[in-house]
Amino acid sequence: MDALLVTDVQNDFCPGGALAIPDGDRVVPVINRLTELFEVVLHTQDWHPAGHHSFASSHKDKEPFDVIPLDYGDQVLWPDHCVQGTDGAAFHPELNITRSQLVLRKGFRKEIDSYSAFFENDQKTVTGLGGYLRNRGIKTLYVTGLAADFCVKWTVLDAMKEGFHVNIVEDAVRGIDLDGSLKQAWKEMLGAGARKISSDTLLHHK
């Protein structure tokens, strides 16, 4: 069995949001079309408490996109975004979530960021997604959403490590692209064995 995994398509990552990804909203119609093809559709949602340690505002004299060392490694500092209960944390209003069977919230621990849908950034604390997928007999993921060079990338890499087959729907992801991070992300994902596929190919063959 396979599943469509929709990563963090939230208002703060779309144009006008606190951490807007260029053309982030353009993934929405593509994902909505793909949703109809899959029996299993899963969504992740960035869900930070106020004052999260990944926010630049939580650190004196730091600016968004500065990088600082934390216990679990280097941390990019972000503008405050996807704060629990805010409109920015809500899914994009045009995203069809009616067929979603699971909404996995991540980043809710104040001291640690969480890009991947499988592990928090310490690479030890599990979200439970791996067990959920295995219990349901899901072996292949089609990954979409935001951002290709952060949450999508880490989700893809961890899914591969966990033994899942991964396809990235190229026209259903967008990236932030900090200093070439988008090109590097594609190199890492494809190098790890993930496949790149277009939504048109899926629509015609699934």
Residue positions annotated with a catalytic role: 8, 106, 151
SS (H, E, C) the chain: CEEEEEECCEHHHCCCCCCCCCCHHHHHHHHHHHHCCCCCEEEEEECECCCCCCEHHHCCCCCCCCEEEECCEEEECECCCCECCCHHHCECCCCCCCCEEEEEEECCCCCCCCCCCCECCCCCCECCHHHHHHHCCCCEEEEEEECCCCHHHHHHHHHHHCCCEEEEEEEEEECCCCCCHHHHHHHHHHHCCCEEECHHHHHHHC
